[in-house]
Amino acid sequence: MPSSKLGGFKVLRDVSVFSVAVPRDGDSYPPQVLDVISDQQINLPYVSCLATDSCWQILFAVPSGEQDRVGQIIRESVPGEGLVSIASCVVLSLFPHRSDPGIAGTTIWVLERENLRFHAMANSPSAISLLLQEECLAGVSNAFVHAFDFPPECAPVDWNLAQKGKEQIYKEVVASYQEKQPKVYGLEIREGLDLYLLEVKKQGLGLLAKSFRQLGDEGIGLSYISSLPLPGMRNHSMALCLPATVRDRATSLLSDPMAEIGLKIAENICLFTMNGPHFGDRYGLAWILMRAFQEHHLDLLALNCTVASMTGIVWYNQTDLAIKAIRTRFHVPEVTRRVIL
């Protein structure tokens, strides 16, 4: 199998992970989770949400020192089910993924081959990020170095390396941004997509990885991927965005009965993505977006907040309303729209 060329990978250490399912009530959102955490001024470097028929699946990471406080807040404030917290985790991000499903496929294939478990996966425009136990980091990094074509002597770089020795100055800069309306560098809209919702058993991940690599070999772009743990933390709930023009081919590859994959397709959706100054360090941004969408009665289908960016999915016929909602809460200098073929 030829190696995909990557530029490098970064790691954010000392995070704790929370996973909870919040029942859906009509057009309700999961703001009670993000709202109470925002009130405590706690930053979430990783957030992934997925709307199912019955509930919101929500997974997020917090600094390890905040684990006990966040756990208590959620138990007291959120009417959720199956709350799980996991200590001693890291976020590992691979750059750049270039919307290539083959990179996601190789990532999953390597983890399965080495029997290295991951809790969750989410993409941003620039990277694919994994949530892992810290004890697995060395083994995962070594496996990836052999599976991908990295620059010579490549090793994970600490996300916070640039802040070393400047922590107080950095905090003051982030605090100065916190008081302002969030600014984004630009809002990108991608149209012509379908959303695939999969329930994947542990034993089906290998075959799913093979399907992803086949999609990559055929030049089919992957605009969105998230993987969240189902109750029990072994099976996965996945969301993927692929071009509507390849619906028949993608359905054929992703519905292999041998993989025991449950598959649903939401046709004609729109993806939006944006980033801005200190998006990875400011608290409350996901909640600001959720509140804007709730006020405009938008159907948010999925959301990833990773690598200082926010990427979400709405129905295509709500695209203009989504842009309007985002602009009520964020300073957006430019909107670009393109159809994915």
The reply to whether 266 and 222 lie within a common domain is: yes
The reply to whether 194 and 326 lie within a common domain is: yes
pLDDT tens readout for residues 46-101: 999 999 888 889 999 999 999 999 999 888 887 766 788 999 999 999 998 889 99
pLDDT tens readout for residues 185-197: 999 999 999 999 9
162 has a pLDDT exceeding 60 = no
Mean pLDDT in residue range 205-210: 91
Mean pLDDT in residue range 239-264: 86
223 has a pLDDT exceeding 70 = yes
The reply to whether 323 and 240 lie within a common domain is: yes
> What's the pLDDT band for 24 if we cut at 50, 70, 90?
confident
Mean pLDDT in residue range 297-315: 95
Q: Which of 160, 176, 196 is the last residue of a domain?
A: 160
Give bridge partners of residue 313 from the DSSP assignment: 271, 302
Give the C-alpha distances (Å, rounded to integers) separating 166 from 10, 58, 160, 274.
19, 33, 10, 27
The reply to whether 148 and 12 lie within a common domain is: yes
179 located within any domain: no
Task: Select the more confidently predicted residue: 245 or 56.
Answer: 245
168 located within any domain: no
57 located within any domain: yes
Mean pLDDT in residue range 298-303: 94
Percent of the chain at pLDDT > 90 equals 64
27 has a pLDDT exceeding 60 = no
169 located within any domain: no
216 located within any domain: yes
178 located within any domain: no
Q: Distance (Å, rounded) from C-alpha 310 to C-alpha 315?
A: 17
pLDDT of residue 232: 67
DSSP 126: S
180 located within any domain: no
Mean pLDDT in residue range 100-106: 95
6 has a pLDDT exceeding 80 = yes
Give the C-alpha distances (Å, rounded to integers) separating 286 from 46, 183, 243, 274, 277.
10, 14, 26, 12, 14
> What's the pLDDT band for 28 if we cut at 50, 70, 90?
low
The reply to whether 231 and 313 lie within a common domain is: yes
1 located within any domain: no
The reply to whether 27 and 140 lie within a common domain is: yes
Decide the pairing of beta strands 302-306 and 46-51: antiparallel
The reply to whether 19 and 60 lie within a common domain is: yes
Q: Which of 142, 160, 178 is the last residue of a domain?
A: 160
Contact 196, 242 (CB under 8 A): yes
The reply to whether 149 and 200 lie within a common domain is: no
Q: Residue 154: is it exposed, middle or buried by C-beta count within 10 angstroms (0-12/13-18/19+)? A: middle
Mean pLDDT in residue range 120-148: 95
Mean pLDDT in residue range 115-135: 94
We report the CATH number of the domain holding residue 49 as 3.30.2130.10
> What's the pLDDT band for 140 if we cut at 50, 70, 90?
very high
- The domain in which residue 224 lies consists of 186-295+308-339
Least reliable range by pLDDT among 1-5, 148-152, 295-299 = 1-5
DSSP 277: T
> What's the pLDDT band for 158 if we cut at 50, 70, 90?
confident
Decide the pairing of beta strands 335-339 and 186-200: parallel
> What's the pLDDT band for 156 if we cut at 50, 70, 90?
confident
pLDDT of residue 153: 81
Q: Distance (Å, rounded) from C-alpha 59 to C-alpha 48?
A: 5
pLDDT of residue 318: 97
The reply to whether 228 and 286 lie within a common domain is: yes
Q: Distance (Å, rounded) from C-alpha 313 to C-alpha 241?
A: 9
The reply to whether 76 and 113 lie within a common domain is: yes
pLDDT of residue 32: 74
Q: H helices of the chain, where?
A: 31-39, 67-77, 101-113, 137-147, 167-178, 205-217, 247-254, 285-295, 319-329
- Split into its structural domains, the chain has a count of 2
Mean pLDDT in residue range 147-155: 89
The reply to whether 253 and 317 lie within a common domain is: yes
The reply to whether 152 and 230 lie within a common domain is: no
> What's the pLDDT band for 171 if we cut at 50, 70, 90?
low
Least reliable range by pLDDT among 40-44, 58-62, 253-257 = 253-257
